[in-house]
Amino acid sequence: MKVLIFLGSTRESQPPKPSRLGARVATALLSHFKEEYADDDVELIDPLDYPTGEVFKPHFAYASGSAPKELDALADKIQRADAYVMVSPEYNHSLSPALAHLLNHFGSSLYAYKPSLIVTYSAGQWGGVRAAIGMRAFLSELGCLPVSAMIHVPRAADVLDSEGQCHPQQNTEKWKSYWQRGSSQLLWWAEAVRQHREVVDPHKLIGNFTHDPQQRNAPD
């Protein structure tokens, strides 16, 4: 099973402190998956590793063979993955622009027919739940349907240290079991759809939208 954990933060600014709080949450999830699912291939995807630039040009808009090699590599990883963990802060009650921007670089056919797990966090008390609601629609449109369990981390700097470990005053066992509920659902679905993808190729059965948004329209 191949799992990609997307870190939805590129923020360098302070305040609010600390910057890039999301790195703690994504690292905690990465450690959890590595500990609990040692046989699986789990990788952290950091938006800072990809040349997404100021001007938006999605990977699918490049002529064949002319896209930046990093985007080619990420497209390949997304296509080969069985499941996604989407880690986002809440910015103005929405998912992070860094996460949306990175995900928007790739067509839905690469993500489709695989499950995703929504993980949100915030500096404050709500843990990003309002962002999470919007993420359900966003991820559903990409075709990587979110499982019902979600992970929300309020006051994330008080929960996790800079290494992604729970602070000593936290109930580590409770946090582990909270991660576990989300990861178990994700991997259950991932295994189920992986098996079925091997029996029936959804891309052949259903067909992908490839070039024209009007392909989605109801008949005139």
Ligand X SMILES: Cc1cc2nc3c(=O)[nH]c(=O)nc-3n(C[C@H](O)[C@H](O)[C@H](O)COP(=O)(O)O)c2cc1C
- Rounded to 5°, the CA angle 41-152-168 comes to 85
The smaller minimum CB distance to ligand X, of residues 66 and 92, is found at: 92
Query: Residue numbers of the site for ligand X (CB under 6 A)?
Result: 9, 11, 16, 19-22, 89-93, 122-124, 126
The smaller minimum CB distance to ligand X, of residues 7 and 110, is found at: 7
CB of 188 to ligand X, least distance (A): 29
Cα(79)–Cα(81) distance, rounded to whole angstroms? 6
Q: In what order do the strands lie in the sheet with 2-7?
A: 41-45, 2-7, 83-89, 116-121, 146-153
The smaller minimum CB distance to ligand X, of residues 47 and 143, is found at: 47
CB of 67 to ligand X, least distance (A): 27
CB of 201 to ligand X, least distance (A): 37
- Rounded to 5°, the CA angle 101-72-50 comes to 45
CB of 15 to ligand X, least distance (A): 8
The smaller minimum CB distance to ligand X, of residues 2 and 136, is found at: 136
CB of 169 to ligand X, least distance (A): 20
Nearest-CA neighbor of 104 among 63, 74, 128, 129?
74
Cβ contacts of residue 20 below 8 Å, gap of 6+? 9, 10, 11, 12
The smaller minimum CB distance to ligand X, of residues 19 and 104, is found at: 19
